[in-house]
Structure 1
Amino acid sequence: MAGRGRGRRVLLGVVAAVPALLLAWVVFAVVRLATSDYPLGGGPEKVPCAEALEFGGGKLPQGAYDTRCTVRSWLDTSYAAEFRMPRRDVGAWLAKSCPSGPAPGTEMCDDGADLCLNMDSEAAPPPAGAGADAVTVNVTYEGPDRALVRFSAFTV
């Protein structure tokens, strides 16, 4: 009969532990949601810039420096590349990277950009072989010799 009382105590302990574990999980989830920029995962991770530009059908230009490239992937995949290059080479690099794309212009550019290229429609799709559904390039001239390029390629 002594074994029977011990079994009840174990069962009572298990029944009491389940709500406590559930409460701990809820507290953890609330804290993570409140303190993380990416509570469900998919935060940016550093990647080689060649990988980021290749996803958008491009290549890193000769003379690029100060390169920073990331990928975020959860429901969609989004690559971002930021680099500087000689200003005089921007036009040739864009023409080589996107030969069938629209001409670079100044409409629909990000704030502060001097030149941009958007390939995100049937009329102006990303280059052949790109893994991205859309590609945007924003160029900001930082002086007579230098340009800051922000390149993004993503699925939708």
Structure 2
Amino acid sequence: MIAVTTATAATAGRLKCAPHRPRAIWSVVTVLVVGALGAGAWYAYTAAQLFSGSMSVPCEKATRFAAAQPLPASARNSECRHGQWLGIHYEAEFRIPREDFEAWLRASYPTAPSPHSCTPLADLCADIDMPADNTPPDSKGIVRRHLADTAKINAWTLPDGSLRVELSAYTV
């Protein structure tokens, strides 16, 4: 049997549901909208950091990408960033005593030319082109690019005799 209800002038246009139901529906809708807006804002913030190159990363990850040795224990005030637009790039900035810098540079890039003076840009500069085969093949024999194609190192002498070093590594 089908029940037919007729709307009266007093009930026309009103929903026939319990008084708490519309509030519950609006609460769920509000939570979903706020959650979607929050997720969108988080994604936009993360993407902006990535595209601008200001996303903080551990310095071990940056030096590994640059095919360099980990920073020595004497390195201080280290900050490392990651970015990606048309290519991938990592940047590391740190302070280090000159002797430790030279030892780290030789251990990281034994075949690279010695750093040269490049004023007014920096006191010492080194441009390192990575060999094309710097990424070993995986277990299936496929070479997946995980390392930089080029690394640039600029160093400035500080008043205390130590160096402020910027390492920039990227894919081409």
TM-score scaled to structure 1, two decimals? 0.64
Q: How many Å separate the matches in 2 of 1:126 and 1:149?
A: 26
Q: How many Å separate the matches in 2 of 1:128 and 1:99?
A: 14
Q: How large is the RMSD of aligned CA atoms in angstroms?
A: 2.8
Give 1:128 deviation, angstroms: 4.0
- Return closer, same or farther for 1:96/1:77 CA change in 2, 3 Å cut-off: same
Aligned letter for 2:85? W
Percent identity (aligned): 35
Q: How many Å separate the matches in 1 of 2:51 and 2:97?
A: 33
Query: Which of 147, 153, 156 in structure 1 is aligned with 2:169?
Result: 153
Aligned to 2:67: 57
5+ long unaligned stretches in structure 2: 1-46, 136-145
The total of aligned residue pairs comes to 115
SS of residue paired to 1:95: helix
Does the 8 Å CA contact 1:135/1:154 hold for their aligned counterparts? yes
Aligned to 2:152: 136
Aligned to 1:71: 82
5+ long unaligned stretches in structure 1: 1-37
Q: How many Å separate the matches in 2 of 1:149 and 1:81?
A: 8
Q: How many Å separate the matches in 2 of 1:62 and 1:127?
A: 30
- Return closer, same or farther for 1:67/1:149 CA change in 2, 3 Å cut-off: same
Does the 8 Å CA contact 1:119/1:126 hold for their aligned counterparts? no
Query: Which of 101, 105, 108 in structure 2 is aligned with 1:94?
Result: 105
Query: Which of 93, 96, 100 in structure 2 is aligned with 1:85?
Result: 96
